[in-house]
Amino acid sequence: MAANREKMRRLIERLIPDISLQKMAERLVPKHFTAKPRLHYVKTLNKESIESNWKILRGAQTELSDDDQQLLADPSSLEYIEAFSKNIENCIGTIKLPVGIVGPLRVNGFFAQGDYYLPLATTEAALVASYNRGACLITKAGGCSVVILNDGITRSPGFVFKNLIEVSQFVLWAQDQFEAFKEVAEQTTSHGKLVDTFTTVEGNHVYLNFDYSTGDASGQNMATIATAAVLKYIASNSPIKPKHMFVEANFSGDKKASALSFLSVRGKKVTAEILLEKSLVERYLHTTPAMMVEYWRLAALGGVMSGTMGVQAHYANGLAALYLATGQDVACVSESSVGITRLELTDTGALYASVTLPNIMVGTVGGGTGLPSQSVGLKIMGLNGKDRVHALAEVCAACCLAGELSIMGAMCAGDFASAHQSFARGVQHSK
């Protein structure tokens, strides 16, 4: 990473004043004193295992008190602690986040139909209020239209060969093995299906992406286990043996924003749109459609010039809060929040708005969706259990549309900073 020489000097002086080069070096060298004790891992959690881990922590970290332990390992958490056994290691309890409700949000989708209450878990003041305002606007307009465009999840195993001769021979062999790969992969799961593969060659490296459908689960573990089984088949049956092979070679876009998002899909690719009359924009957002489009044009170019992956305001805000409240893999916000927001002014002066998200990674079964609190979040939405994952993905896109309309409206009306002061600091400002 590059750093300006003068800025680096000032940073060191500010963070570590009056330190000599010798002292600085001493802080950075490896040290080999006895490490603090490790916590105990058990396959099935219980009150005794939690107490044992807290005993270790409190012995090594003297600032911790009985009250601190009670905040994480409270009676309610301990009552359900066994339910977390397959979701966490070295467990010491649960963390509490405030949960607010957005809605009703009216969604007119292929799968999601009707009014939805959305649970958002967050510590950011004004976030729930902002998304709620967007939801009220959408509902007042009759709801947004939402469509699933694509569905799938990828794993991208990588292979290393001696040279391009071996690469070409392997690729030709692998192209004829799809049915065998499919059979092997689907023996590992009753829900996942291998749908397609595509191959990328770079020198003596081969990336063999596997596309799966995963039913109602988010499916990341499902895809990993299935792909590992295929790699065992390749190791046993390929006439050209790779020097090395790895179950994931960083070509799938897993937990990161990538250009691949707009060429393929990771999770659910969803688009949502709405047409808002001028009077509604003025009433709920305190601005005009023309000003909204003007701001969108400026912000879109700002995103392009700064190199953002996609162009949008804050998908991550709503998705992270919704993922936390419903037991999704929150790290997948990194790819889920890639997308495009677009605003246009119609011939009649109304506002057309759309969002397109190519990587909404959600599930209604598996992962954290069955945990006590998170299952309640899905029940609030009426989207827990089987045959509801596509509806959940559509609601996620609608949620993002609500957030985009509200935040851009606040920017146009000059309310963005004052709203955060009001909600986060309790300071009221008159205009």
Q: What residues act catalytically? A: 124, 329, 420
Angstrom CA distances, 275 to 229, 341, 343, stand at 48, 14, 10
* End-to-end CA, the chain: 44
Longest dimension (CA), the chain: 75
The CA distance from 47 to 59, in Å, is 18
Query: Which residue, 327, 429, 353, 278, is CA-closest to 119?
Result: 327
Query: Omega before 30 cis (within 30°)?
Result: no
The CA distance from 302 to 296, in Å, is 10
Please answer whether residues 268 and 216 qualify as being in contact, where contact means their C-beta atoms are separated by less than 8 angstroms.
Answer: no
Angstrom CA distances, 143 to 93, 116, 402, stand at 40, 11, 10
Residues in the chain, overall count: 431
Ramachandran category for residue 265: left, alpha or beta (phi over 0 → left; psi -120 to 50 → alpha): beta
